[in-house]
Structure 1
Amino acid sequence: MKIVLILLLFIVMCNNLQAQIDDSDKLLLDKKLQNVLNSDQQIRKEAIAIFHSAVDIEKKIEFQHRLDSVDQANQQFVFAVLDSQGWPSGLSAVANQAIFLVIDHAKLEDQKKYLPLVKEQSSNGILDKSAYATLYDRVQMHSGKKQIYGTQTILQNRGQEGDVLLIWPIQDSEKIDSLRQSVNLPPLNDYVKVVSSMYGKKCYWDKSLEVKDIRFNGK
């Protein structure tokens, strides 16, 4: 009887120890992901200032290399986690947002790869519904297709008016605000004002704009 009790006590102690180790690992992962988010957002704050200023092209190219380096490091870490264990459970909201942002800022093939994971986390309430809507629209845009929720813009030169931001062509303009509402996004006209204020450039929603009308690199 004593042997049985000792064995049971040993099992309980082992389970508690394993739980403590798991909790410690999760806290460490959460902290690392919070650092990932901080680096992602900091470099993009710098990007807004640099790419919308009169800084010479050499400095912009130099900064682009630094931004790419930060993104690649973040992607290497986050994608290794996702590929080895899927989307970790029990993370803080900040850590979950970090994973999303790394995916959102990745290349098209990676965005497509992890889009189902983002959809699942959005459906389960781990991410806001707007996260999936944003990534879905970004995949559509990078695939040369119309977006659904109106979350994506593109910089275009309009002659004397200079560079402006245009809402990427939308699939169903008549239903856009109800679609945005369904994923916790504000009306598109309000979003246009926010984008214009954030980037210090005029932003337009041209309903007649088609994908074929978009000019890339002046072409």
Structure 2
Amino acid sequence: MRWKDDLERNLKEKMNYNQIAEKLIDLQNADLALREKLVKSGRLSEGYDEEMKALHNRNAKLLNEIIAVIGYPTVEKVGKEASEAAWLVIQHAIEQPQLMKKCAELLRIEVAKGNAEPKSLAYLYDRIAVFEGKSQLYGTQFDWDENGELSPNAFDDLVEVNKRRSSVGLDTLEEQTALIRANAKKENQQPPKDLEKRRQEVEAWKKKVGWIR
């Protein structure tokens, strides 16, 4: 890919990472702009929108190319805004299980070095766990429940979850739940009309993209 070739050439010439940072922020901005569009049109709650799916996969491909050149985009390399943008792209690369898992390992290494935020890794660990049908550790992932409310996906024990959350700088699960529900109400998000059908569709999607067998 020409963009990647140019990027590699510039880096070999000891160029700084400004170009990469700008690209990452552009990917994030495109993602957020599309989300806002879906919110305004009332399409955000209607399953995985095809336009959003395509954007997420494009962003994931570009991010993977960036990581191949510079490794994980830490704050030290690309700055705080661009590093957070990379994390958002990773969180939304939900049709790329191998990429998400690879990024989780890279991020784990950077957290251990003190180069990344533990709470970023907590969110990514939970997201992967939920897609693999496992209990999450930090309670960061939510979905619609039988009462038409957004509730945390499966976790082991509330007390233990809150201890883990505190250890990485997150508010309590109760506080996050209130915030998630308030934001959903503000955006006029609606639960699926047929919850069981939606759950079956999600399970089929997980198998299709390789999260579960």
TM-score by length of 2: 0.73
**Contact 2:20–2:66 (Cα < 8 Å) also in 1:** no
CA–CA separation in structure 2 for the residues paired with 1:65 and 1:114: 24
- CA deviation string 1:7-34 (max 9, x = no partner): xxxxxxxxxxx9995335x111111111
Cα shift readout 1:102-134 (whole Å, capped 9, x = no counterpart): 111112332112210122233334332111000
1:175 CA drift (Å): 1.5
Name the structure 2 match of 1:5: none
1:217 corresponds to: 198
Displaced runs of 4+ in structure 1, greater than 6 A?
none
Tell me, yes or no, if structure 1 residue 33 matches structure 2 residue 24: yes
1:149 is matched by which residue type in structure 2? Y
Matching residue within 44, 53, 56 for 1:68: 53
Structure 1: unaligned runs, 5 residues or longer:
1-17, 54-59, 203-213
Mapped pair 1:155 → 2:136: no
Change (3 A) 1:48 1:179: farther
Secondary structure at the counterpart of residue 87 of structure 1 = coil
Q: For the pair shown, which has the larger CA radius of gyration, 1 or 2? A: 1
2:126–2:137 CA contact under 8 A, matched in 1: yes
1:178 counterpart (145, 163, 166): 163
2:123 matched residue in structure 1: 134
Three-state SS of the structure 2 residue aligned to 1:90 is helix
Distance 1:66 1:19, change over 3 A: closer
The verdict on how the C-alpha distance between 1:19 and 1:116 changes in structure 2, with shifts beyond 3 A counting, is closer
1:196-207 to 2 correspondences below 5 Å: 196-200=181-185
SS at match of 1:23: coil
The one-character-per-residue Cα deviations of 1:140-169 (angstroms, maximum 9, x if unpaired) are 10000110001011123x3xx5x3212111
- Per-residue deviation, 1:198: 0.8
- Alignment CA distance shift 1:48-1:132 (3 Å): farther
8 Å Cα contact 1:93-1:126 kept in structure 2? no
Partners of 2:133 and 2:11 in 1: how far apart? 47
Aligned to 1:86: 71
Across the two proteins, how many residue pairs are aligned to each other? 179
Task: Give the C-alpha shift of residue 99 in structure 1.
Answer: 1.4
Q: For structure 2, which runs of at least 5 residues remain unmatched after alignment?
A: 1-9, 190-194, 201-213
Report the 3-state secondary structure (helix = DSSP H, G, I; strand = E; otherwise coil) of the residue aligned with 1:154: strand
In 2, Cα distance between equivalents of 1:82 and 1:138: 20
Q: Once superposed, what is the RMSD of the aligned Cα atoms?
A: 2.8
Percent of aligned positions with the same letter in both sequences?
A: 22
